A and B are shown apart, each in its own frame.
Chain A
């Protein structure tokens, strides 16, 4: 279509949509209105920023500009007038649209705790969602020695790991009996807690928090068992909630996300929604980039007319936690359902694997620790491809069956037809014959057969055969 496309939100979904539209030529105008004051950045890298390994510019994403694309940052939208097809900004400006795309993302959940006002977090307490949150955490962390993280989900553990990498002593407080209970089973949770402990992250499990008190000197977190934890910093990581305020106020259908169809269209044909704020049919929990980017692509193809049949199909979710010392991949549900189960556990080395296979397809997996098969498993699950006939390959990775044939213990055990020199196609029999015909040194054998004259890699093997032949010769005719 031509006309004016307005994107509300300049996070990972909105920025990607702008890029996708920009990449497709056409006579159209695109305006992006981002609430945050800075250019687009990669939220995935915030925990690395927290760890102090990179600086703020390193999380920036590529920005499109020109050719009809206008990006405005620090420009939140306060209202949509669907009848007039305009959106309003805080200073009262109206922006016309022909098509509106909501990419407003999600917000960190502030848990209901005694002493905590969601509208005004006390000092030393922060959520972990945006670059501004990250700055707030870092401002406190610079002079902090200890930190608490409330919430042992993926994001909470990433924050904990980042803070521990800065040298803080970190404790994760989690109401469930084991970490990442949505992705893991108890055994994996236990192995993960052990791995984290070795990295300076303690876990306090199975205890909900009830309240907190924070002042410039420190923060105290009260737990349901009557105990309390003290630290210099508290990070709240209790999940995210789709940011649907704008859509709801405009009368769009909302139910734990802006409801959209498989074209990402809301119940208003002129409005789409993508990313964390959207809830397409069959879509799981918010907070993941891959679905947001896939949705941006579908919307770009539809809006540009590139492919009017483009539809969004949710793909299975792979959860990945990877930081120095931690390697976790979780997908589907390996703990139940039909089919075979495959397990490996080496808690002493922090390795755990549990996979479920149904009708030769992977339906779930938890891989924790050093699992060389992780790339293969992720791809098999993601693509629904058949699993290896020898199931051990799913645990051991490509090492299986891939090792070069072990060299025979003695040349005597090699068959005559065994190739010794690949480059010049020389087998053992040929080397033996040339010995019989009088060659007695490696150099003579090389000159006679050309073995070892290519890459040179088999010279040792030729030497071994010469040694064996000279020994065998002293006791009798070889063969």
Chain B
């Protein structure tokens, strides 16, 4: 979009004709500028006083308090006693700087981010199959040109409305749209075929689709032989998933499984996309692998208008996961336990590779360890609101309360900021330059419309200032067993004044060097190049060479050049239903709200459209529970409960209830959700747990 200052001092949003959104904006886009001058906007740091009240403070006082707190904690408990929590909404420059700040300035292994709860399952499955994790390995416009499109656990009509323009084009061209979702969503309504499985059975459905593809002779044997490895193990595993067996498990009729497999396997081109519905499970990685297996067996990846992809969520959900916010990662999608990667990045950062910390732990494990004997005692949060968005949120909230120091950088007083010892007011999107990488792996420019208001600083400023203060000599050494004191091994103060530059263009230049040679190689991407084209697709190693709109045409970036199948089996949800908790509970989003709602709940138009949380349930279930439309209901799990008005709808299975997760307090859906984690990605099981529902 484009912003413009109007004559009467307002800021006007104008849609921009861009290949991705085709000029479309939903209400959240149109109203995005409402927050720039919102009365709730933070314009001064806040520091908690001895009485427990957050009070305005100077930047110097706030930063001193933070540095004192960090030093005290690290002195007593070692470097890893400080942790950093980032967000998928941060620009590439900020995400990169945050990862560097954790490893170089704090020298802690503990950094992770809220994208762990978003794309991590698809990322892990993509990496192990293709050797690379790029949401879409093709431009979004390919969706409009594919013959059969399978959406699994995706509801773009509500979560990403402009994307629907590509689906409209696809169907106008005669293509078929098939949607897998336990709810008859706005997206599923538009489908030619809707599969409505029991939550938690998407993996079995995928294996059944591959089973049918086998028995119907739809496998692309030539492709499988030439371009993949590991198919035999998958073939033998899916032999156990004949359609009638999976019908019983999932409730998806055999005929629909067959029709879906045929629509994919006989089409000239086909695309399979997964999103949070399939991924936010304790078996999310395996579930995505099952759909990747299907795509590979049908010979889709690398073919025109065909392939597998993941619909990325947050604004910079893709770029945010490439440059070091992840616990096990260094810039360029490098692995932090890879000696060559450590050497390269340490070289760019001007430190000894041996000084770089090792891998930390995934987001939920990190938050759940806070304040515990072995866990971090101080946490810095940038661009995230885990009090609302974390699974088993009441527990996370109590962990945050148990910290010695909680610092939150945000531009609004989020529910997490309300718990902080120090809140730093930082710039908003329209006040900062930088880059974002969208779901296509396309690096885009964000241009500042104006300077931040007085009293507000950018995240890059904050990191630079904190790093400088941490660099200053600390007379007291870090506690026993923690290695050298904080400043030792680091640079002499003043030696490298630009170690944490505040100009995003300078940060990006460094990011390019740090990512060079990595999987997500930005070396050839410049701001000028982004601006002269409609963005630049990574990998792009050479400023004068081509970028990569489409991957996998000839080879896969794996050691053998082949894509890898992974045999995966269905397993039950981490928490099965039982007599006490007889219903399945699933969570998701509504059109007019975004993430934890910190921003969108403050926009009048959006609040009018979606004023409060609700619990969606089938009229049959409601009748059995004696609940009428609009009645307040209580949804209780073993971990907590939520209260919200009932919304009756025949579009949901009668054995399943749904609540959106955008609201805090009594309506907080994540009070109920399960913190069971995927063993590979660390993704929590947001999408299914066992609950009891009753009239409140």
Contact = CB atoms under 8 A, between A and B. Distances in A.
Interface of A: 41-42, 44-45, 48, 53-54, 57-63, 289-290, 318, 320, 322, 327, 370, 372, 374-376, 378-379, 382-383, 385-386, 388-389, 397-398, 400-402, 404, 422-425, 450, 453-457
Contacts of B608: 425
Contacts of A386: 620, 624, 654
Contact of B256 (A42, A290, A375): A375
B27 A450 contact: yes
Given A423-B591, A425-B608, A289 B239 contact: no
Given A425-B609, A450-B30, A388 B215 contact: no
Contacts of A450: 25, 27, 30
Given A374-B255, A455-B162, A402 B242 contact: no
Q: Closest 9 A-B residue pairs measured CB to CB?
A: A455-B164, A454-B161, A401-B650, A320-B244, A375-B253, A425-B609, A455-B161, A62-B236, A454-B26
B251 A376 contact: yes
Nearest to A398: B196
Nearest to B190: A457
A424 B26 CA distance: 6
A53 B655 contact: no
B37 interface: no
Nearest to B27: A424
Given A320-B244, A370-B255, A454-B26, 20 more contacts: A53-B215, A57-B232, A58-B214, A58-B235, A62-B240, A290-B245, A322-B243, A372-B253, A375-B247, A375-B252, A379-B251, A386-B624, A423-B26, A453-B25, A454-B161, A455-B157, A455-B162, A455-B168, A456-B162, A457-B168
B671 to A, nearest CB: 26
Contact of A60 (B215, B235, B256): B235
12 contacts: A45-B239, A45-B242, A54-B217, A320-B247, A382-B248, A401-B619, A422-B158, A453-B24, A454-B24, A454-B161, A454-B164, A457-B157
Contacts of A318: 244, 248
Interface of B: 15, 22-27, 30, 157-158, 161-165, 168, 184, 186, 189-190, 194, 196, 198, 214-217, 232-233, 235-237, 239-240, 242-245, 247-248, 250-256, 567, 591-592, 605, 608-609, 619-620, 623-624, 650-651, 654-655
B24 A455 contact: yes
A95 to B, nearest CB: 26
A314 B170 CA distance: 47
A424 B624 CA distance: 35
Nearest to A404: B189
A319 B76 CA distance: 66
A41 B217 CA distance: 18
A162 B482 CA distance: 71
Contacts of A53: 215-217
A456 B609 CA distance: 18
Contacts of A374: 247, 253-255
A398 B189 CA distance: 12
Contacts of B198: 379
Contacts of A60: 235-236, 239
A398 B15 CA distance: 38
Contacts of B655: 383, 385
A456 B27 contact: no
A404 B567 CA distance: 39
B21 to A, nearest CB: 9
A188 B535 CA distance: 62
A398 B242 contact: no
Contacts of A422: 157-158, 161, 186, 591
- Of A58, A370, A383, chain B has the most CB atoms within 10 Å of the CB of A58
A61 B650 contact: no
A58 B186 CA distance: 39
A368 B26 CA distance: 45
A425 B165 contact: no
Contact of B592 (A378, A425, A457): A425
B282 to A, nearest CB: 16
Nearest to A62: B236
- Of B26, B214, B216, chain A has the most CB atoms within 10 Å of the CB of B26
B254 A455 contact: no
A402 B243 contact: no
A402 B179 CA distance: 15
A456 B24 contact: yes
B215 A42 contact: no
Contacts of A382: 248
A353 B165 CA distance: 41
- Of B27, B162, B237, chain A has the most CB atoms within 10 Å of the CB of B27
Contact of A59 (B157, B239, B591, B623): B239
A62 B251 contact: no
Nearest to B30: A450
Contacts of B252: 375
B254 A320 contact: yes
Given A61-B240, A320-B254, A423 B233 contact: no
B251 A378 contact: yes
Contacts of A44: 242
Nearest to B624: A386
Contacts of A424: 26-27, 30
Contact of A375 (B190, B250, B654): B250
A81 B165 CA distance: 72
Contacts of B240: 42, 61-62
B651 A402 contact: yes
Contact of A402 (B26, B184, B217, B654): B184
B570 to A, nearest CB: 12
B583 to A, nearest CB: 11
B237 A388 contact: no
Contacts of B624: 386
B569 to A, nearest CB: 9
Nearest to A376: B251
B608 to A, nearest CB: 7
B247 A63 contact: no
Contacts of B163: 455
Nearest to A383: B655
Contacts of B23: 453
A456 B157 CA distance: 10
Contacts of A456: 22, 24, 162, 164-165, 168
Nearest to B257: A375
A401 B648 CA distance: 12
B606 to A, nearest CB: 8
B184 A398 contact: yes
Contacts of A457: 157, 164, 168, 190
Contacts of B22: 456
A402 to B, nearest CB: 5
A173 B655 CA distance: 43
Contacts of B255: 322, 327, 370, 374
Given A372-B253, A398-B184, A425 B27 contact: yes
Contact of B237 (A62, A385, A398, A400): A62
Nearest to B571: A23
B254 A322 contact: yes
A41 B245 CA distance: 16
B157 to A, nearest CB: 6
A454 B251 contact: no
A400 B196 CA distance: 14
Given A42-B242, A322-B244, A456-B168, A63 B184 contact: no
- Of A53, A370, A401, chain B has the most CB atoms within 10 Å of the CB of A401
B530 to A, nearest CB: 25
A375 B591 contact: no
A34 B329 CA distance: 47
- Of A370, A375, A404, chain B has the most CB atoms within 10 Å of the CB of A375
Contacts of B605: 425
A402 B186 contact: no
A107 to B, nearest CB: 23
Nearest to A360: B624
A313 B335 CA distance: 48
Contacts of B245: 289-290
